[in-house]
Structure 1
Amino acid sequence: MLNAEVVVVGAGMFGAAAAKYLARGGADVLVIGPGGQSPSHGAPASLAPFGAHHDEARIVRRLGWDRVWGTLDTRSADRMRALEAESGIGFLTECGALALMGKGVRDRTAEMLRLAGAAGVTVEELSGTDLGRDFPDLALPPVAGGVDGLLERQSAGYLNPRLLVRAQLRLAAAAGARLVNGQVATVDKNPSPAGRWLAQGTAADGTAVHARAEQVVVATGALANQSGALPTGVRLDLHAYTEPNLLFEVPAGQLERFRDLPTVVVVDPEDRGNDNLSVYLLPPVRYPDGKWYVRTGPGMQPLVRELRTAEEMLAWCAGGTIGAEQARFLAAMTRTLIPALEPVSVRPSCCVVDKTPTRHPYIGPLGEDDGLFVAVGGNGHGARGSDEIGRLAATLVLGGQWDFPLPREVFAPVPAPAPRVSGADRPPYLTPPFGLC
């Protein structure tokens, strides 16, 4: 039996950051989560390997869709270089971040720029001529009415999420946190006097894990409702969706040509079903197979499909196959944005994205004074704000002073309502404009 003051369930980006700040705050912390293995298509036997950090790149920027995300992202980005130095692990590539905002949301664009300026974030406004001059290999998408280019050059680009997690866990361990490579199957009230909570599961070596704690932080991302990490009968209003990606292998002769592209996000405000053009694109990134790939994914088109059960999630992630309609859309948008790219190969990558009805992460307690907390709900772009999300979760667990410029109620977890009827109207978070990925 393991004992701790706080058990963190989940060793992804939110959980690793929370563990670091909890340990630095003096808590006796035990982290239980997969040890960073990468899933192989067709091989995994459980949901454990399918955290959001099992890829090579996530977009980093400080320009936020609203004040909540702008503040989370800015605070986290401002600490990334220090985090690299402290851990000895480099994970940030500063290639710049470009948002191509449909002119139909100029009021929102103006507010985003105002908030960025107030936070001291430099964002350049680029015309079509400017974009053609600075990025001649990048073409503009045919969004109705045109687009406004917003470019961050500093503290922006992409991070390697696996290395970010490794850095956070290294710092958590240095501060005294204990790490268990494994998977939690149940979290319930502890019937014995020692500790209010009992987390049980299996370690990577097959041995049983039993951990007692006064407090528990559930940081299992999109899997929160399916993984067993929440007590019996407790569910969050958190929805998981398929996120189809395509990886375009860059030929050696074109690598230098495209390596200096920024990350790109297209925000199309028109609700035209699957014809909406919202996407994100990453410049060439080196993957573990030694090859360089441009990766393209959807902003949040209706062509995504909700994953309601653990079996559906497993089949999607392990299958490694995206739909024909999804593939056509992503291939067409990649040709539109980088028309000169002549990929050696194209292969799919199946990701999962979670959404909350608030559009913001859930950070806080479930229930009154019972010691159960959550840090979930990245809404498709939680990686770059993960350090601040983890810090806020640790602040609440430790009973510290709330020092975020918006009230903690902004992040209050929402319990699941009655199940939606299949085929019902799309929820607001699936309706354009989708925000910044």
Structure 2
Amino acid sequence: MVLHAEVAVVGAGMFGSAAAKYLARGGADILVIGPGQPPRDGTPPSPAAFGAHHDEARIVRRLGWDQVWGTLDTRSADRMRALECASGIGFLTECGALALMGKGVRHRTAEMLRLSAAAGVTVEELSGSALGLDFPDLALPPVAGGVDGLLERRGAGYLNPRLLVAAQLRLAAAAGARLLAGEVTAVRKDPSPGGRWLLRATTADGVAVQARAEQVVVATGALANQSGALPAGQRLDLYAFTEPNLLFEVPAGQLERLGALPTVVVVDPEDRGNDNLSVYLLPPVRHPDGKWYVRIGPGMQPLVRELRTGEEALAWCTGGTLTTKQSRFLTTMLRTLVPALEPVSVRPACCVVDKTPTRHPYIGPLRDHDGLFVAVGGNGHGARGSDEIGRLAANLVLGGEWDFPLPREVFAPVDAPSPRTSGADRPAFLTPPFGLC
């Protein structure tokens, strides 16, 4: 089977689905190729079958770590209710979003507040006593020097990434995009003059498919380098890491009480290795098993391990186990932040997070690969900014004028790997402060 399209979007996650929607609305003939949900029958999936959207909750806020993320997040968040209405799929829960910023980065906190005010985003500064009145079941972490509380009440909380992707794909299809459930295994350019991009894929049923497209958008997330979605020999300056999470089952008797919690991010600027207290916390969220869980995950402490191959990523996502250090750290932080919780059970959740040296997403064409674009590099922030990231990628493919307040060079893909270091010489983008998850 050979399929033809003006633009092939490789990856049907949050970035890819948003890009497909905007491309289709722009009049292009779009083919989206991406795996469906991971199989539940015990069949071993491939690394491509895993994505950030295979989860139940991601934090939503407009308060960004810098102007790049603040603008991406604000523009996306401002469209979420309209996206729900247009698609008929609800995915946003407004419970508020709280950032507990170490006082050692007050210069960054002040800049974040300035940018939020300029964007018309209301962020309340709350003292410890005020936080105690608003959220009596939330305790403050013992960050050196204390923390500043920054709270967004409206338009902030968490989104269901599975439902967000479903909404985007429904709107993309309504605009004429075609969706192929499968995995791209190879991408190359026909060397003849005016040659198209040639993609090989395998459908969910194991059928081999070829696709030809004038342009390609690669939106395969953290595992872009470990998949077959880039031309042979091409690697982005993008790194994937394990993200060990714990899910604490909330007893029925505590649901109403703990349901008043906001999402929480702790930013600890001190570089103390695994003793750094940066974490994120989600309030009780209902999972497919019908149970409610409070979720906690780390910043980028050294206990987070790099995933260098597709096989490592597959093993982590399908059967990974948390180390004693990881479990102890996350359990201690959960008990610190929500001491009243008496969990019925605790189970791990093995996720993947990516990092770019720029700390920002890559959106744009790849050098020396005419017609090949990427939209990758969520850096742990990508879900809430995904609609704007997809829009910017689509705008570049369609040849539109750049309409973002920062230059497009901010998002320029970097295709040469950074020198790898380890131990005390960890790259700067892996050292505190880690920013807002």
TM-score normalised over the length of structure 1: 0.98
For each residue in 1:360-386, what CA deviation from the matched residue of structure 2 results, as whole angstroms up to 9, or x when unmatched? 000000025710000000001100000
Q: Note the C-alpha offset of 1:429.
A: 1.3
Q: For residue 19 of structure 1, what is the amino acid of its counterpart?
A: A
Q: For residue 226 of structure 1, what is the amino acid of its counterpart?
A: Q
Instruction: Give the 5 Å matches for 1:101-250.
Output: 101-191=101-191, 195-250=195-250
* 2:26 alignment counterpart: 25
Q: Distance in 2 between matches of 1:81 and 1:365?
A: 31
Q: Distance in 2 between matches of 1:254 and 1:41?
A: 33
Q: For residue 31 of structure 1, what is the amino acid of its counterpart?
A: V
Q: Distance in 2 between matches of 1:62 and 1:416?
A: 32
Q: Note the C-alpha offset of 1:321.
A: 1.2
Q: Percentage identity across aligned positions?
A: 84
Greater displacement, 297-306 / 277-286: 297-306
Q: Note the C-alpha offset of 1:39.
A: 5.7
Tell whether 2:395 aligns with 1:367.
Answer: no
Q: Distance in 1 between matches of 2:179 and 2:371?
A: 20
The number of equivalent residue pairs is: 436
Counterpart contact for 2:197–2:213, Cα < 8 Å: yes
Q: For residue 310 of structure 1, what is the amino acid of its counterpart?
A: G
1:296 is paired with a residue whose SS is strand
Q: Note the C-alpha offset of 1:205.
A: 1.4
Q: For residue 168 of structure 1, what is the amino acid of its counterpart?
A: Q
Instruction: Give the 5 Å matches for 1:34-433.
Output: 34-35=35-36, 37-38=37-38, 43-191=43-191, 195-367=195-367, 370-417=370-417, 420=420, 423=423, 425-433=425-433
Q: Note the C-alpha offset of 1:42.
A: 6.6
Extract unaligned runs of 5+ from structure 2.
none
1:225 is paired with a residue whose SS is helix
Q: Distance in 2 between matches of 1:60 and 1:320?
A: 27
Counterpart contact for 1:195–1:212, Cα < 8 Å: no
Q: Note the C-alpha offset of 1:423.
A: 4.8
TM-score normalised over the length of structure 2: 0.98
Counterpart contact for 2:249–2:346, Cα < 8 Å: yes
Counterpart contact for 2:238–2:417, Cα < 8 Å: no
Q: Distance in 2 between matches of 1:39 and 1:275?
A: 37
For each residue in 1:109-137, what CA deviation from the matched residue of structure 2 results, as whole angstroms up to 9, or x when unmatched? 00000000000000000000100000000
Counterpart contact for 1:143–1:277, Cα < 8 Å: yes
Q: Distance in 1 between matches of 2:28 and 2:369?
A: 18
Q: Note the C-alpha offset of 1:416.
A: 2.6
Counterpart contact for 2:244–2:351, Cα < 8 Å: yes
Q: Note the C-alpha offset of 1:43.
A: 4.5
Q: Note the C-alpha offset of 1:190.
A: 2.4
2:47 is paired with a residue whose SS is coil
Counterpart contact for 2:17–2:172, Cα < 8 Å: yes
Tell whether 2:34 aligns with 1:5.
Answer: no
Q: Distance in 1 between matches of 2:87 and 2:194?
A: 35
For each residue in 1:280-338, what CA deviation from the matched residue of structure 2 results, as whole angstroms up to 9, or x when unmatched? 00000000000000000002211100110111111111114111111110000000000
Q: Distance in 2 between matches of 1:288 and 1:392?
A: 33
Counterpart contact for 2:6–2:30, Cα < 8 Å: yes
Q: Distance in 2 between matches of 1:428 and 1:369?
A: 29
Q: Note the C-alpha offset of 1:146.
A: 0.5
Q: For residue 87 of structure 1, what is the amino acid of its counterpart?
A: S
Q: Distance in 2 between matches of 1:287 and 1:41?
A: 19
Q: Distance in 2 between matches of 1:173 and 1:269?
A: 44
How big is the alpha-carbon RMSD for the aligned residues of Structure 1 and Structure 2?
A: 1.4
Aligned pair in 2 of structure 1 residues 399, 369: CA closer, same or farther (>3 Å)?
farther
Q: Note the C-alpha offset of 1:38.
A: 3.9
2:22 is paired with a residue whose SS is helix
Q: Distance in 1 between matches of 2:92 and 2:34?
A: 23
Extract unaligned runs of 5+ from structure 1.
none
